[in-house]
Amino acid sequence: MTDWAAPTDKTLIEYRVEDGIAILELSDPPANTYTYNMMLQLDEAIRTARMDNNVHVIVLRGKGDKFFSAGANISMLNEVTPRFKYFFCLHANETLNRLEHTPKLVIGALNGHTVGGGLEIAMACDLRVACKDGGKIGLPEVNLGVLPGTGGTQRFARIVGKSKAIEMMAAGTLFTFEQAMEAGLVNQVLPKETFWNDVMAYARKFVPPTKAAKAVGHIKRAVCSGLEVPFESGLAIERELQQQLFQSEDAKEGLAAYVEKRAPAFKGA
Protein backbone atom coordinates (compact mmCIF):
# COMPACT_ATOMS: atom_id res chain seq x y z
CA MET A 1 0.00 0.00 0.00
CA THR A 2 1.30 3.47 -0.90
CA ASP A 3 2.40 5.76 1.91
CA TRP A 4 0.57 8.85 0.67
CA ALA A 5 2.07 11.01 3.43
CA ALA A 6 5.67 10.21 2.48
CA PRO A 7 7.61 12.99 0.71
CA THR A 8 8.27 12.57 -3.00
CA ASP A 9 11.03 13.73 -5.33
CA LYS A 10 8.60 13.86 -8.23
CA THR A 11 7.78 17.33 -9.56
CA LEU A 12 4.02 17.69 -9.30
CA ILE A 13 3.85 21.47 -9.71
CA GLU A 14 5.96 22.97 -12.47
CA TYR A 15 6.87 26.61 -11.84
CA ARG A 16 8.29 29.28 -14.10
CA VAL A 17 8.11 33.05 -14.54
CA GLU A 18 7.62 34.81 -17.89
CA ASP A 19 7.17 38.57 -18.36
CA GLY A 20 6.10 39.16 -14.77
CA ILE A 21 3.69 36.19 -14.84
CA ALA A 22 4.21 33.15 -12.60
CA ILE A 23 2.97 30.01 -14.35
CA LEU A 24 1.99 27.16 -12.02
CA GLU A 25 1.27 23.88 -13.79
CA LEU A 26 -0.49 20.93 -12.17
CA SER A 27 1.69 18.07 -13.43
CA ASP A 28 0.56 14.51 -12.83
CA PRO A 29 -0.64 13.18 -16.20
CA PRO A 30 -2.91 11.97 -17.52
CA ALA A 31 -5.57 13.64 -15.34
CA ASN A 32 -3.48 15.88 -13.05
CA THR A 33 -5.23 14.52 -9.97
CA TYR A 34 -3.96 15.95 -6.73
CA THR A 35 -2.54 14.28 -3.66
CA TYR A 36 -1.17 15.58 -0.40
CA ASN A 37 2.26 15.91 -2.04
CA MET A 38 0.88 17.92 -4.94
CA MET A 39 -0.87 20.27 -2.51
CA LEU A 40 2.38 20.69 -0.59
CA GLN A 41 4.16 21.70 -3.80
CA LEU A 42 1.29 23.98 -4.83
CA ASP A 43 1.45 25.65 -1.44
CA GLU A 44 5.18 26.25 -1.87
CA ALA A 45 4.71 27.62 -5.39
CA ILE A 46 2.01 30.04 -4.20
CA ARG A 47 4.30 31.34 -1.46
CA THR A 48 7.18 31.68 -3.92
CA ALA A 49 5.04 33.72 -6.34
CA ARG A 50 3.64 35.80 -3.49
CA MET A 51 7.10 36.82 -2.25
CA ASP A 52 8.62 37.51 -5.69
CA ASN A 53 8.41 41.25 -6.41
CA ASN A 54 8.92 40.53 -10.10
CA VAL A 55 5.70 38.47 -10.23
CA HIS A 56 2.55 40.51 -10.77
CA VAL A 57 0.07 37.88 -12.01
CA ILE A 58 -0.25 34.14 -11.36
CA VAL A 59 -1.58 31.75 -14.02
CA LEU A 60 -2.60 28.24 -12.98
CA ARG A 61 -3.02 25.53 -15.62
CA GLY A 62 -2.93 21.77 -16.04
CA LYS A 63 -0.18 19.80 -17.77
CA GLY A 64 -1.09 18.75 -21.29
CA ASP A 65 -4.23 19.63 -23.20
CA LYS A 66 -6.82 17.13 -21.94
CA PHE A 67 -7.15 17.91 -18.23
CA PHE A 68 -6.85 20.96 -16.04
CA SER A 69 -7.47 18.56 -13.18
CA ALA A 70 -9.84 15.69 -12.46
CA GLY A 71 -9.68 16.46 -8.72
CA ALA A 72 -8.39 14.44 -5.82
CA ASN A 73 -6.64 11.16 -6.52
CA ILE A 74 -9.33 8.50 -5.96
CA SER A 75 -6.79 5.73 -5.34
CA MET A 76 -5.38 7.80 -2.50
CA LEU A 77 -8.83 8.46 -1.02
CA ASN A 78 -9.67 4.76 -1.27
CA GLU A 79 -6.57 3.71 0.67
CA VAL A 80 -6.05 6.30 3.41
CA THR A 81 -7.74 6.51 6.79
CA PRO A 82 -10.62 8.91 7.58
CA ARG A 83 -8.20 10.85 9.80
CA PHE A 84 -5.76 11.26 6.88
CA LYS A 85 -8.63 12.40 4.65
CA TYR A 86 -9.62 15.04 7.18
CA PHE A 87 -6.13 16.51 7.46
CA PHE A 88 -5.67 16.24 3.69
CA CYS A 89 -8.84 18.30 3.15
CA LEU A 90 -7.79 20.77 5.86
CA HIS A 91 -4.42 21.36 4.21
CA ALA A 92 -6.06 21.68 0.77
CA ASN A 93 -8.43 24.31 2.21
CA GLU A 94 -5.47 26.20 3.69
CA THR A 95 -3.57 26.05 0.40
CA LEU A 96 -6.45 27.35 -1.71
CA ASN A 97 -7.19 30.04 0.87
CA ARG A 98 -3.55 31.15 0.56
CA LEU A 99 -4.01 31.36 -3.21
CA GLU A 100 -7.25 33.31 -2.87
CA HIS A 101 -5.82 35.73 -0.32
CA THR A 102 -2.57 36.44 -2.15
CA PRO A 103 -2.79 40.11 -3.23
CA LYS A 104 -1.87 39.30 -6.82
CA LEU A 105 -4.32 38.48 -9.59
CA VAL A 106 -4.73 34.73 -10.17
CA ILE A 107 -6.02 33.43 -13.51
CA GLY A 108 -7.16 29.85 -13.90
CA ALA A 109 -6.41 28.64 -17.45
CA LEU A 110 -8.82 25.72 -17.91
CA ASN A 111 -7.04 23.88 -20.70
CA GLY A 112 -9.05 20.67 -20.34
CA HIS A 113 -11.57 18.81 -18.18
CA THR A 114 -12.05 20.68 -14.89
CA VAL A 115 -14.08 18.48 -12.59
CA GLY A 116 -14.50 17.81 -8.90
CA GLY A 117 -11.53 19.05 -6.94
CA GLY A 118 -10.09 20.44 -10.17
CA LEU A 119 -12.96 22.91 -10.31
CA GLU A 120 -12.47 23.63 -6.61
CA ILE A 121 -8.88 24.67 -7.37
CA ALA A 122 -10.09 26.77 -10.31
CA MET A 123 -12.68 28.52 -8.17
CA ALA A 124 -9.94 29.73 -5.82
CA CYS A 125 -8.58 31.69 -8.80
CA ASP A 126 -9.89 35.22 -9.36
CA LEU A 127 -10.62 34.80 -13.07
CA ARG A 128 -11.19 31.68 -15.14
CA VAL A 129 -10.62 31.39 -18.88
CA ALA A 130 -11.41 28.14 -20.65
CA CYS A 131 -10.46 26.40 -23.88
CA LYS A 132 -13.30 26.08 -26.39
CA ASP A 133 -14.30 22.43 -26.80
CA GLY A 134 -11.57 21.65 -24.28
CA GLY A 135 -13.60 19.48 -21.95
CA LYS A 136 -16.29 19.33 -19.29
CA ILE A 137 -16.66 21.16 -16.01
CA GLY A 138 -18.63 20.44 -12.84
CA LEU A 139 -18.79 19.04 -9.33
CA PRO A 140 -19.93 15.38 -9.57
CA GLU A 141 -18.87 14.34 -6.03
CA VAL A 142 -22.45 13.40 -5.08
CA ASN A 143 -22.09 10.43 -7.44
CA LEU A 144 -19.37 9.10 -5.11
CA GLY A 145 -21.56 9.58 -2.06
CA VAL A 146 -19.64 12.65 -0.84
CA LEU A 147 -19.78 16.42 -1.24
CA PRO A 148 -17.28 18.85 -2.85
CA GLY A 149 -15.03 19.07 0.21
CA THR A 150 -12.23 21.43 -0.82
CA GLY A 151 -14.22 24.63 -0.65
CA GLY A 152 -16.59 23.61 -3.43
CA THR A 153 -19.89 24.12 -1.64
CA GLN A 154 -18.82 27.55 -0.40
CA ARG A 155 -17.10 29.03 -3.46
CA PHE A 156 -19.61 27.60 -5.94
CA ALA A 157 -22.54 29.19 -4.11
CA ARG A 158 -20.74 32.53 -3.91
CA ILE A 159 -20.04 32.48 -7.65
CA VAL A 160 -23.32 31.20 -9.19
CA GLY A 161 -25.78 31.78 -6.33
CA LYS A 162 -27.24 29.51 -3.65
CA SER A 163 -30.15 27.86 -5.46
CA LYS A 164 -28.27 27.22 -8.69
CA ALA A 165 -25.27 25.86 -6.80
CA ILE A 166 -27.38 23.40 -4.80
CA GLU A 167 -29.13 22.21 -7.96
CA MET A 168 -25.90 21.71 -9.92
CA MET A 169 -24.03 19.98 -7.09
CA ALA A 170 -26.97 17.77 -6.05
CA ALA A 171 -27.45 16.66 -9.67
CA GLY A 172 -23.71 16.07 -10.07
CA THR A 173 -23.84 16.65 -13.81
CA LEU A 174 -21.05 17.98 -16.00
CA PHE A 175 -21.49 20.81 -18.47
CA THR A 176 -19.60 22.63 -21.20
CA PHE A 177 -17.34 25.64 -20.75
CA GLU A 178 -19.87 27.71 -22.71
CA GLN A 179 -22.59 26.74 -20.23
CA ALA A 180 -20.20 27.57 -17.40
CA MET A 181 -19.69 31.03 -18.86
CA GLU A 182 -23.45 31.56 -19.02
CA ALA A 183 -23.64 30.67 -15.31
CA GLY A 184 -20.86 33.14 -14.47
CA LEU A 185 -18.39 30.43 -13.53
CA VAL A 186 -16.04 31.12 -16.47
CA ASN A 187 -15.08 34.63 -17.61
CA GLN A 188 -14.07 33.83 -21.18
CA VAL A 189 -13.93 30.88 -23.57
CA LEU A 190 -10.90 31.15 -25.88
CA PRO A 191 -10.19 29.37 -29.20
CA LYS A 192 -8.49 26.00 -28.87
CA GLU A 193 -5.94 26.70 -31.63
CA THR A 194 -4.48 29.77 -29.91
CA PHE A 195 -5.52 29.07 -26.34
CA TRP A 196 -2.22 29.40 -24.50
CA ASN A 197 -1.05 32.44 -26.47
CA ASP A 198 -4.42 34.06 -25.78
CA VAL A 199 -4.17 33.22 -22.07
CA MET A 200 -0.75 34.88 -21.82
CA ALA A 201 -1.94 37.91 -23.79
CA TYR A 202 -4.90 38.18 -21.42
CA ALA A 203 -2.62 37.91 -18.37
CA ARG A 204 -0.28 40.61 -19.70
CA LYS A 205 -3.16 43.09 -19.62
CA PHE A 206 -2.79 43.13 -15.83
CA VAL A 207 1.02 43.45 -15.74
CA PRO A 208 3.10 46.68 -15.68
CA PRO A 209 3.57 48.91 -17.55
CA THR A 210 -0.03 48.44 -18.79
CA LYS A 211 -1.66 48.12 -15.38
CA ALA A 212 -0.75 49.10 -11.83
CA ALA A 213 -0.40 45.56 -10.51
CA LYS A 214 -0.51 46.65 -6.86
CA ALA A 215 -3.86 48.36 -7.47
CA VAL A 216 -5.14 45.22 -9.22
CA GLY A 217 -4.05 43.11 -6.24
CA HIS A 218 -5.66 45.49 -3.75
CA ILE A 219 -8.93 45.45 -5.73
CA LYS A 220 -8.84 41.67 -5.39
CA ARG A 221 -8.17 41.86 -1.66
CA ALA A 222 -10.93 44.44 -1.09
CA VAL A 223 -13.46 42.23 -2.87
CA CYS A 224 -12.39 38.89 -1.37
CA SER A 225 -12.23 40.17 2.21
CA GLY A 226 -15.02 42.74 1.93
CA LEU A 227 -17.64 40.24 0.79
CA GLU A 228 -17.09 38.15 3.92
CA VAL A 229 -17.73 40.92 6.49
CA PRO A 230 -20.52 43.46 7.18
CA PHE A 231 -20.77 46.32 4.67
CA GLU A 232 -19.30 48.95 7.01
CA SER A 233 -16.32 46.70 7.73
CA GLY A 234 -15.88 46.17 4.00
CA LEU A 235 -15.73 49.94 3.52
CA ALA A 236 -13.04 50.12 6.22
CA ILE A 237 -10.98 47.47 4.42
CA GLU A 238 -11.41 49.42 1.18
CA ARG A 239 -10.24 52.68 2.80
CA GLU A 240 -7.15 51.06 4.30
CA LEU A 241 -6.14 49.48 1.01
CA GLN A 242 -6.77 52.76 -0.80
CA GLN A 243 -4.54 54.59 1.67
CA GLN A 244 -1.75 52.12 0.94
CA LEU A 245 -2.17 52.75 -2.79
CA PHE A 246 -2.12 56.53 -2.33
CA GLN A 247 1.43 56.10 -1.00
CA SER A 248 2.58 53.99 -3.98
CA GLU A 249 4.76 55.09 -6.86
CA ASP A 250 2.20 53.83 -9.36
CA ALA A 251 -0.52 56.06 -7.91
CA LYS A 252 1.78 59.06 -8.29
CA GLU A 253 2.51 58.02 -11.86
CA GLY A 254 -1.14 57.42 -12.68
CA LEU A 255 -2.29 60.78 -11.37
CA ALA A 256 0.59 62.62 -13.05
CA ALA A 257 -0.06 60.89 -16.38
CA TYR A 258 -3.71 61.87 -16.24
CA VAL A 259 -2.88 65.53 -15.61
CA GLU A 260 -0.20 65.50 -18.32
CA LYS A 261 -2.53 63.75 -20.78
CA ARG A 262 -0.19 60.82 -21.47
CA ALA A 263 -0.29 57.06 -21.02
CA PRO A 264 0.99 55.97 -17.59
CA ALA A 265 4.04 53.73 -17.32
CA PHE A 266 3.40 51.63 -14.24
CA LYS A 267 6.15 49.71 -12.43
CA GLY A 268 4.19 47.66 -9.94
CA ALA A 269 5.57 49.70 -7.06
| 13-204 and 213-259 in the same fold | no
Cα distance between residue 64 and residue 111, in whole Å: 8
Q: Which residues contact 245 (CB under 8 A, 6 or more apart)?
A: 214, 215, 218, 251
Q: Which fold has domain 13-204?
A: 2-enoyl-CoA Hydratase; Chain A, domain 1 (3.90.226)
Which pLDDT band holds residue 2 (cuts at 50, 70, 90)? confident
Mean pLDDT of the chain: 96
Q: Is the omega angle on the peptide bond into residue 209 within 30 degrees of 0, that is, cis? A: yes
Domain 213-259 in CATH 1.10.12: yes
Percentage of the chain modeled with pLDDT above 90: 97
Q: In the chain, where are the structural domains located?
A: 13-204, 213-259
* Per-residue pLDDT reduced to its tens digit, 8-24: 999 999 999 999 999 99
Residue type, 223: V
Q: What's the confidence (pLDDT) of residue 107?
A: 98
Of the chain, the end-to-end C-alpha distance in Å amounts to 51
* Per-residue pLDDT reduced to its tens digit, 199-232: 999 999 999 999 999 999 999 999 999 999 999 9
* Sequence-ordered alpha helix ranges (H) in the chain: 36-51, 74-79, 82-101, 117-123, 152-160, 162-171, 177-182, 195-204, 213-226, 231-246, 249-259
Give the active site residue among 141, 167, 182, 238: 141
Give the active site residue among 120, 167, 228, 253: 120
Handedness of CA 199, 204, 206, 207 (dihedral sign): positive
Let me know if 141 is a catalytic residue: yes
Let me know if 14 is a catalytic residue: no
Report the predicted TM-score, pTM, of the whole model to 2 decimal places: 0.95
Percentage of the chain modeled with pLDDT above 70: 100
